[in-house]
Amino acid sequence: MSNDRSRNGLRVKVHRKSWMLRGIFALFILLAIAVVWFTHALLSERFTESTRNRAQVRMTLYSGNLLSELKRASIVPQLLARDAALIGALNSNDHAQTSARLISYMEELGVAALLLLDRDGRVVAASDRNQLGSNHKSDPYYVQAIRSNETVFSAFQDENGAFSFTYARKLEFSGGPIGVIVVEVDLKKFENSWKGTSDAVVVTNSEGTIILSTEPQWRGLKEGDALKMRSVSSALRQAFQNTADWVMLTSPQGVLDEDVIRQENRIAFQGWKITSFTAYASVRQRVNGLLALEIMGFAILLALGFYFLSRKAVGRSVILQRESADLRRLNLRLQQEIAEREKAEKSLEVAEQTLAQSSKLAALGEMSAAVSHELNQPLAAMKTYLAGARLLLDRNRASEAVSSFQRIDDLIERMGAITRQLKSYARKGGEAYTPVDMRDAVNSALSMMEPQLKHRHVEISKSMPREPVLVLGDRVRIEQVIINLFRNALDATKTVPDPQIDILLAVGETAVLTVRDNGAGIEDLDNLFEPFYTTKQAGEGVGLGLAISSGIVNDLGGRLMARNASAGGAVFQMQLPIMEQDSVSDETTAAE
């Protein structure tokens, strides 16, 4: 009776365990499906956005290249319309050398073709000699150029379906037109470069007509009519074929029915637009690859589960014994590893403490040397001003001595600003920069170096713009760099009988400050900006001025360069980014 009860109880336990395993298996399958679905949705959205962003970047680059080429070519007719040789050839009707001249101009200016038409519209000279003698009097660009005083842009489609883009401008002599110069712009090279990508790219004019396209049969059509064509054989057709076997759960925003991502960008030229069609296949391939790995992982887990369950059913007792032995060995090994790890952690802690102490000592030494170097210059200037003030007081010229004391007060304020910078080294986060007029910084640095310059009788040549030259940075640190450059120039002219320092502030894409001296030049340009490198005698410098200056300029997003001048002496150039006008307005508004 007891055996029957035991057997029944065992059967009940086995039955319950069987249903439990089935429930776990069902939950596992549902969890796997949910995870795969969620992963598909998340990765599709993320990869689609990434693909769209890359396509937008390419569109911006393409439109910028097109606009740059159009603007560059628009200047060519203005230059050639004033060419004395072309005007003389039209007046004398002697065009023996004119075509050769146009060919040289075409190669030099990088345009597709050049045509010279007389007042009757006949081609009298051309970079393509096959066009000589042809008449274009009735062509729109000739008629518009003769009637207009400006350069005329035209785009027309030839018999092959390709568009030609030209700039035309009339040539005048004694107040009357004598001919027209025609410049053909080479925009087909952009089509060829776009064909090397997986995108289909089109450019439309203000009327919506396609004038440039990686699909030749689309030229001259509207975008809607072009997309209805099913004979596409290149990039877009390949994109359709790659994605034809996929059924999307949801269509991401910006994806067409054919699973192609469309991006549009405006070109700032006569209402032109550039549009790209990027295949969605790359997104699907990446998503499918990750989903395959995920499903494979679930399958491996499921297989391992069945394996362990079957092994457990076959020999539970044997497995338990083996697991017990393995567990004992594992515990022993784990204890050994823990002991070794604790020993290694203690050794590492001692090494870290030693390294931290060494780093602190090195940083303290470098900081002390830097502060000493930067305070030496104001201290030297204060000493000079005090000596001058003492002489003025001895001569009962107290009112004149007040200006020296005011300059000493300014130097003390500057020394305080330098020492306050030490606090910023311990802070986390970026620095708050303000607009700085480079002209004021140069004048302030010259004022601080005035005693040394006058004492050495140095001739200063200064050239600066009348308008403000604004950069974004810390004025004290910028002045610190300029003073170091003046100080180096002053030291370099010690052995020169007539010392001279030229200061030039120029503005273009960047603000460039050039400091040139007539000293002996620089021997070792490679190590010039290394810390503690100096050519001075012991006690005259520690070799940190240029290293600190280079670090400051790099922090401000600029460059500090040095070279030897061809006429002798050294030339230092500091380049800093120009502050945009919008940024200046924002800074002013924030300050108010």
Per-residue pLDDT of 431-462, as tens digits, reads: 578 899 999 999 988 887 887 888 888 899 99
Q: What is the pLDDT of residue 351?
A: 67
Residues 267, 273, 279: CA angle, nearest 5 degrees = 120
* CA 589 from centre of chain: 28
* pLDDT above 70 for 468: yes
| pLDDT per position as a tens digit, 85-99 | 888 888 888 888 888
How would residue 589 be classed by pLDDT, with cut points 50, 70 and 90?
very low
**Residue 152 scores a pLDDT above 50:** yes
- Contact (CB, 8 A) for 453 and 494: no
Report for 224-233, 278-287, 349-358, 499-508: range of highest mean pLDDT: 499-508
369, 544 contact by CB (below 8 A): yes
- What is the pTM assigned to this prediction? 0.42
Q: Please name the residues in contact with 139: beta carbons below 8 A apart, sequence gap of 6 or more.
A: 121
The CATH number of the structural domain formed by 16-228+258-315 is 3.30.450.20
* 305/102: higher pLDDT: 102
**What pLDDT band is residue 425 in, cutting at 50, 70 and 90?**
very low
Q: How many CB atoms lie within 10 A of CB 75?
A: 13
Domain definitions of the chain by residue range = 16-228+258-315, 431-577
Rg (CA), the chain: 39
Query: 354-358, 526-530, 563-567: which has the highest mean pLDDT?
Result: 563-567
Between CA 184 and CA 269 the distance in angstroms is 17
Pairing of the two strands 459-463 and 500-507? parallel
pLDDT > 80? residue 207: yes
| Nearest-angstrom CA–CA distance, 566 and 482 | 23
More confident residue, 306 or 219: 219
Q: How far apart are CA 475 and CA 556, in angstroms?
A: 11
Residue 438 token pair: 């480079």
The distance from CA 4 to its chain's CA centroid, rounded to whole angstroms, is 83
- The predicted model gives 121-150 an average pLDDT of 89
Higher pLDDT, 443 or 412: 443
372-404 per-position pLDDT tens digit: 666 777 787 788 888 888 888 888 887 777 787
Model pLDDT for residues 314-332, shown as the tens digit of each residue: 666 666 677 778 888 888 8
> What 3-state class would DSSP assign to 47?
helix
Cβ(513)–Cβ(582) below 8 Å: no
How far is it, in rounded angstroms, from Cα 173 to Cα 91? 8
How far is CA 358 from each of CA 13, 369, 554, rounded to the nearest angstrom? Answer: 68, 17, 27
pLDDT at 365: 52
Maximal CA-CA distance, the chain: 134
Say if domain 431-577 classifies as CATH 3.40.50.720: no
- Distance (Å, whole) CA 590 – CA 540: 44
Instruction: Please tell me the distance from the alpha carbon of residue 127 to that of residue 86, in angstroms, as a whole number.
Output: 14
How far is Cα 363 from Cα 356, in angstroms, rounded to an integer? 10
Backbone phi, psi, residue 141, to 5°: -70, -30
Average pLDDT over all residues of the chain: 78
pLDDT category of residue 476 using cuts at 50, 70 and 90: confident
Of 163-177, 255-269, 419-433, 475-489, which gets the smallest average pLDDT?
419-433
